[in-house]
Amino acid sequence: MSSIEDLFGKLAMTTVTTVSRIALSHATNAAIRNVTSYITTQLPKNKPDTREIRTLQRQLDLKIKNLKPTIDIIARSVADGNQDLEPALEMCNDLKHDIDDFANQVNSITDPDQVKFRLKRLLSNVDDAIPSLHLSLRSIENKSGTAAVSPAKLVHASHILLNPQQKKFKIKLYSLFAANYREASAKGFTWKEEFPKCDLTIVKKSKDQLEYALQITEDTNDGLYHEEGEDKKQMVIDINHIQRMYYTQSGELLNIEDAKDAVLVMKVSKGEKKKNDDDSITSTTDEKLIQVKETAPEIVKEELQEAQWYAVGLWTDQDDEEEDGSDDEKSDKTKSTSSVSDFSLNLLLLESVIKLALLEITEQMNHLQASDELITLYMK
Contact of 149 with 375, CB cutoff 8 Å = yes
Higher per-residue confidence, 251 vs 276:
251
pLDDT at 369: 92
pLDDT at 41: 75
* Beta-strand pair 169-176/281-283: unpaired
Sequence-ordered alpha helix ranges (H) in the chain? 3-11, 24-42, 48-79, 86-105, 112-144, 151-162, 301-306, 317-324, 327-340, 347-363, 372-379
Nearest-CA neighbor of 114 among 52, 33, 60?
52
* 342 C-beta neighbours (distance < 10 Å), count: 10
Distance, CA of 267 to CA of 240 (rounded, Å):
11
- Average pLDDT rounded to a whole number, residues 333-355: 67
Distance, CA of 378 to CA of 200 (rounded, Å):
22
Domains, in order of start, for the chain: 24-144 (1.20.5), 149-379 (no CATH)
Within 13 Å and on the Cβ side, how many CA atoms surround 31? 30
Distance, CA of 130 to CA of 35 (rounded, Å):
23
Higher per-residue confidence, 292 vs 155:
155
Report the percentage of the chain scoring pLDDT > 90: 17
- Average pLDDT rounded to a whole number, residues 161-184: 78
pLDDT at 235: 93
Q: Which amino acid is present at 320?
A: D
Higher per-residue confidence, 163 vs 31:
163
pLDDT at 322: 56
Distance, CA of 105 to CA of 276 (rounded, Å):
18
| Residue 12, pLDDT above cutoff 70 | no
Q: Which long-range contacts (CB under 8 A, 24 or more apart) does 114-123 make?
A: 115/35, 115/38, 115/53, 116/49, 116/52, 116/53, 116/56, 119/35, 119/53, 119/56, 119/57, 119/60, 120/56, 122/31, 122/60, 122/98, 123/56, 123/59, 123/60, 123/63
Q: How confident is the model at residue 292 (pLDDT cuts 50, 70, 90)?
A: very low
Contact of 314 with 177, CB cutoff 8 Å = no
Distance, CA of 378 to CA of 380 (rounded, Å):
6
10 Å CB burial of residue 157 (0-12, 13-18, 19+) is: buried
**pLDDT tens digit sequence for 197-220:** 999 999 998 888 899 999 999 888
Mean pLDDT, the chain, as a whole number? 75
Residues 6+ apart with CB under 8 A from 267: 4, 5, 242, 243, 244, 245, 307, 308, 309
Least confident of 228-232, 282-286, 305-309, 344-348: 282-286
Distance, CA of 157 to CA of 308 (rounded, Å):
25
